[in-house]
Amino acid sequence: MALRIATWNVNSVTARLPRLVAWLERTGTDVLCVQELKVAEAAFPYEELRALGYEAAVNGTGRWNGVAVISRIGLEDVVTGLPGGPGFPDDEPEPRAVSATCGPVRVWSVYVPNGREVGHAHYEYKLRWFEALRGAVAGDAAGPRPFAVLGDYNVAPTDEDVWDPAVFAGSTHVTPAERAALAALRETGLTDVVPRPLKYDRPYTYWDYRQLAFPKNKGMRIDLVYGNGPFAEAVSDAYVDREERKGKGASDHAPVVVDLEV
């Protein structure tokens, strides 16, 4: 069975809806994990997606954050939120995770906290959130069913995943503690299933809107697909859809696409 699974931080599902619909139609993606919806569940475009044959599991509360799993191959055993996860501020849970079983695979869509700056309370929250994620996915990661955690991790795994390591020195997304949190997540049995190099030397997934970052390819690879052994073994192709970052009305992130034979 051939499947196409992807992840995309759309930076507002409302603003990106025409592009989202067109992209789904063009690529034939079966399951899409979406981040940064910026809408409450009631305002999510269920009808527009249903017209294409998709259903959605959504975790969203309003202006910020928000995640979804969009599927045309089934949507079962939905878990909304990160079990045992911390909140922010004042331990108030944020809509940063949703998981579901879609046909033969189980996926999580995650939007890891940004961290803001080293030493900030949000940075500590980010590390606690990673710890909770590790605990929440460990069982599925070690299981026999294809399983993956997809999303905006807000961490560049290595110095090769940022356009200039010197620019990021001392800032979030590249610190040893954040990368150690990623390593701990992989220790549950997950691996990065998107190889490097791909069709270009630096397969970034995010470029800031400012200072011509995209035309200059001043980007970061922070949108990741971490799969367990059965998922990784089923991967037949993987790529960053860099073309979707181009043009008017684009998100500042590009979709990451993985093809499977399960």
Q: Is 210 in a helix, a strand, or coil?
A: coil
Domain span at residue 120 reads 2-261
State the Cα–Cα distance between residues 73 and 86, nearest whole angstrom: 32
* Predicted pLDDT of residue 197: 54
* Predicted pLDDT of residue 198: 54
Domain count, the chain: 1
CATH code of the domain in which 17 resides: 3.60.10.10
Chunk the chain into consecutive blocks of 10 residues (it has 262) and report each block's average pLDDT, rounded to whole numbers. 98 98 98 98 98 98 94 98 94 95 98 96 97 98 98 96 94 97 98 73 88 94 98 95 95 98 96
* Predicted pLDDT of residue 31: 99
State the Cα–Cα distance between residues 131 and 97, nearest whole angstrom: 14
| 111 and 13 Cβ atoms separated by less than 8 Å | no
Residue 101: closest CA among 138, 132, 139, 73: 73
Q: pTM for this one?
A: 0.97
Residue carrying structure tokens 């809408």: 39
* Predicted pLDDT of residue 78: 98
Please give the distance of CA 230 from its chain centroid, rounded to a whole number: 20
* Predicted pLDDT of residue 203: 82
